[in-house]
Amino acid sequence: MSERTFDAALGRRIRELREQQGLTREEVARRLAQYGVATSRPSVGVTENGQRSVKAHELIVLPYVLGVRLEELLSGLPEPSPVEAGPDEATVKAAQRLNAAPVDVDAAAQRLWGRGLVAERDARLGVATRSRTDQARRGHVTRALIEELRGAIPERPVSSEETTP
């Protein structure tokens, strides 16, 4: 299921619950603002039309605004599929350096470490911040992991379609 399909389904559900409560889009926007969610009537409409993703903090507040439990808000919606998220940037870059497909990098990482490249990198780094020092450490560890992966992935020609997320 695509992100847009989920956004559209959630938007329809929000509209349905809003109308059941007899609320206008303006009233929903005003109630959201009372909970610290800055939005407008047009933004509520764009959300209901599935053209805008609901942010996490909005999802927490919406049940209060619409007078329902979170379970009721989400009932009947398709479950988003994490598989469709695509490979992370580090995996794509590793695949390019290894002349492999990202899916091959993921498979080799699972065989070697029992987890993906980024999860293994983060486990080896421990707690990290966004400092330049930690950024350099991440790069160093990632390069070492790519070398470990090099022998676990057979090289093959890869089309540009496979390496772009």
Every domain of the chain and the residues it spans: 3-82, 86-163
pLDDT at 164 exceeding the cut of 80: no
Rounded CA gap, 22 and 2, in Å? Answer: 31
pLDDT at 41 exceeding the cut of 90: yes
Contact 139, 94 (CB under 8 A): no
Which whole number is the average pLDDT over 19-43?
94
DSSP one-letter code for 38 = -
Contact 35, 65 (CB under 8 A): yes
- Dihedral sign for Cα atoms in the order 127, 133, 136, 137: negative
Contact 98, 153 (CB under 8 A): yes
pLDDT at 43 exceeding the cut of 60: yes
pLDDT at 4 exceeding the cut of 90: no
pLDDT at 27 exceeding the cut of 80: yes
Give tens-digit pLDDT for 44-86: 999 999 888 899 999 999 999 999 999 999 988 877 655 555 6
DSSP one-letter code for 127 = S
DSSP one-letter code for 75 = T
Can you identify the CATH homologous superfamily of domain 3-82?
lambda repressor-like DNA-binding domains (1.10.260.40)
- Whose structure tokens read 């329902």? 68
Which whole number is the average pLDDT over 94-121?
90
Rounded CA gap, 74 and 8, in Å? Answer: 12
Contact 163, 102 (CB under 8 A): yes
The pLDDT assigned to 1 comes to 46
The pLDDT assigned to 96 comes to 92
Upper half-sphere CA count for residue 76 (Cβ side, 13 Å): 11
Q: How confident is the model at residue 34 (pLDDT cuts 50, 70, 90)?
A: very high
DSSP one-letter code for 68 = S
Give tens-digit pLDDT for 109-163: 999 998 888 889 888 888 766 777 888 888 899 999 999 999 888 766 545 554 4
pTM for this model (two decimals)? 0.50
Contact 105, 153 (CB under 8 A): yes
The pLDDT assigned to 156 comes to 62
